Amino acid sequence: MPEPTPVDIRVRELRKTFRVPEREAGLRASIRSLVRRSYRDVDAVAGVSFDIEAGDVVGFLGPNGAGKTTTLKMLSGLLHPTGGEISVLGHVPARREHDYLRRMTLVMGNRNQLQWDIPALDSFEMNRAIYRIPEADFRRIRDEIVELLEIGELVRKPVRTLSLGERMKAEIAAALLHRPQVLYLDEPTIGLDVTMQKRIRSFLADYNQRYGATVLLTSHYMADVQALCKRVIIIDSGSILYDGALRDLSTRYSPHQTINVVLAEPADLSAYGEVLDSVDGRITLKVAKADTSAVAARLLAAFGVSDLTIEDPPIEDVIEQVFAGSAPNDPTRAADRVAR
């Protein structure tokens, strides 16, 4: 029997409640609040449980205010949970033991690790001292990361002169010099252009493979998630809506696929599925997933087909459906409609 993969992150019934002051707008309410303040309890995280195995890359998704960053802050030890338990690499993060902090990293925004006025290389040197990285190891890891991220030139310039994307790459490099086992990445590609996003994605994938690091990543860019994460946890209003394989997400929440077909002669295909688009002879049909193969076969048999492709719906649409709280549609009903 194969050895079970060790669990790096274990979270049970995690809760975080913030007490937020609130008052009506206007002078009268302002004066009243001097005497009597009213507060409201906000459950930012409301009983979340999951395990992440060593070496996994998990996407942590949700709309703004869903509780993603609060959870990451609790995992990294920045916030004390209101309730529940967390264990990461055998440590309780809220205790912020140095042994734990040396084994993890948190990348949040792009002004954490680097000193503004000096080149990133000098900040790297500071991290060497903070994390007590042996000199030889430090040079090797630093050179490796600098090469992988292709930042050889820019780490010699004062950080304040770098662009947003360049700074983000240098931040990530600084955050990984001590070769952490657990990475919490909060929107690591936010605000970056497509090329820069791709570079960071491939770097993170490479880092994960090379060192077997465990990664929990939040991102609003589905391209990040699709490139890096086999598993996603979707959270909204502090509760988990979905925790499972990314590939199962569309099966569960979107029972449709699209068939793009280019016909030799124009034809009406509305009997085969819902026609979403028809431009220059290219027709897009929405078809129940269970019937995709059969419909494709019928199209090929009935028409002169120059091209035919089958696609899953965009992951953004699927996730939107998860957030919309829509129950998974019944695929048989959808199939009925196509056959009608």
Partner 1 sequence: MTGKLGGLPGLYSVVMRTAVQTQFQYRTANYAYLLGMIAEPVIYLVVWQTVAGSQGGAVEGITAGQFAAYYIVWTLVRNMNIVFTPYGWEDRIRNGLLSGMLVRPVHPIHYDLAFFAGWKFVAIVLWLPIAAVLVLIFRPTFDVNALEVGVFLIAIWGAYLLRSLLLWALGMVTFWTTRVSALYELYFTAELLLSGRLLPLALLPGWAATVSDVLPFKYTFGYPIEVLAGDLSTTELFIGLGLQAVWIGAGVLLVALVWRVGVRRYSAVGN
CA dihedral 323, 326, 327, 330 (to 10 degrees): -130
3-state secondary structure 100-124: HHCCEEEEECCCCCCCCCCEHHHHH
Please give the sequence-ordered ranges of beta strands (E in DSSP) within the chain, or none if there are none. Answer: 7-22, 38-53, 57-61, 83-88, 104-108, 182-186, 214-218, 231-236, 239-245, 256-263, 274-279, 282-288, 305-311
Report the residue number, 133 or 225, with the smaller CB distance to partner 1.
Answer: 133
| Min CB(13)–partner 1 separation in Å | 18
Report the residue number, 118 or 305, with the smaller CB distance to partner 1.
Answer: 118
Q: Angle 309-315-320 (CA atoms, 0-180°, nearest 5)?
A: 130
Report the residue number, 99 or 311, with the smaller CB distance to partner 1.
Answer: 99
| Min CB(145)–partner 1 separation in Å | 17
Element (H, E) at 321: helix 315-323
- The residues near 42 (Cβ < 8 Å, ≥ 6 apart) are 17, 18, 19, 20
| Min CB(3)–partner 1 separation in Å | 30
Report the residue number, 62 or 81, with the smaller CB distance to partner 1.
Answer: 81
Report the residue number, 185 or 246, with the smaller CB distance to partner 1.
Answer: 185
* Binding region for partner 1 (CB under 8 A): 18-19, 70, 73, 76-80, 94, 96, 98-99, 101-102, 104-106, 108-109, 111-113, 115, 117-118, 122-123, 125-126, 128-135, 138, 158
Q: Could you give the CA distance from residue 166 to residue 182 in angstroms, rounded to a whole number?
A: 23
74 C-beta neighbours (distance < 10 Å), count? 25
**CA dihedral for 246, 284, 197, 67, sign (positive or negative):** negative
Report the residue number, 112 or 309, with the smaller CB distance to partner 1.
Answer: 112
| Min CB(198)–partner 1 separation in Å | 26
| Min CB(187)–partner 1 separation in Å | 13
Report the residue number, 109 or 266, with the smaller CB distance to partner 1.
Answer: 109
| Min CB(273)–partner 1 separation in Å | 49
Selection from 245, 241, 232, 254 nearest residue 313 by Cα: 254
Q: Could you give the CA distance from residue 247 to residue 134 in angstroms, rounded to a whole number?
A: 42
| Min CB(22)–partner 1 separation in Å | 15
Q: What residue has token string 């205790």? A: 95
Report the residue number, 77 or 313, with the smaller CB distance to partner 1.
Answer: 77
User: For the chain, how long is the longest CA-to-CA vector?
Assistant: 79
8 Å CB contact between 234 and 240: yes
8 Å CB contact between 123 and 115: yes
Going by the DSSP 8-state scheme, the letter that residue 64 receives in this structure is T
| Min CB(147)–partner 1 separation in Å | 21
